[in-house]
Amino acid sequence: MPNNTLVISNNKLVKEKLSTEFEIVFVEDTLLNTMERARALVHEGYILLTHPLSGSIKPNETPYKSIALEKRNGPVDLDSLMIVEQSIARTRSLLDDRNTPDWPENCLEDFRAIDFDLIKNALKG
């Protein structure tokens, strides 16, 4: 990953474990709001390095999402914008069908670990 990588995440495990290696923007909010913050950065010229819908868990099943972006000032990357917009639309559609369950803490720990593993492997792979 480029050394100008930024990770936007609502997962405290990502913040705790990766903040010494990468700049982390921690969002204390929903998965959808995390994607919307990533979209705002794309509008500023940042480029997506990981797909907002990475992994096999649907966005209405997990409350956590971490997205890597390359910090850049420049024109809007249309591919990144299209991907993040489609991801937000898909997430909204799934949430309209069924909200994310109110998971017990042991399940939340599992979802945090899965999201952490996905972003860690993407950043170091």
Query: What confidence tens digit (pLDDT) does each residue in 31-74 have?
Result: 999 999 999 999 999 999 999 999 889 999 999 999 999 999 88
Question: In Å, what is the CA distance from 92 to each residue of 65, 73, 87, 96?
Answer: 14, 29, 9, 6
Torsion-angle region of 45 (φ positive above 0: left; ψ -120 to 50: alpha; else: beta): left
In the predicted structure, residue 3 carries a pLDDT above the cut 90: no
Q: Which two tokens stand for residue 29?
A: 């909010």
In the predicted structure, residue 1 carries a pLDDT above the cut 80: no
Write down the pTM of the prediction. 0.95
Q: What are the respective helix, strand and coil percentages of the chain, to the nearest 5?
A: 50, 15, 40
At residue 52, the pLDDT reads 97
Please give the mean pLDDT across all residues of the chain: 95
Give the mean model confidence (pLDDT) for residues 97-124. Answer: 95
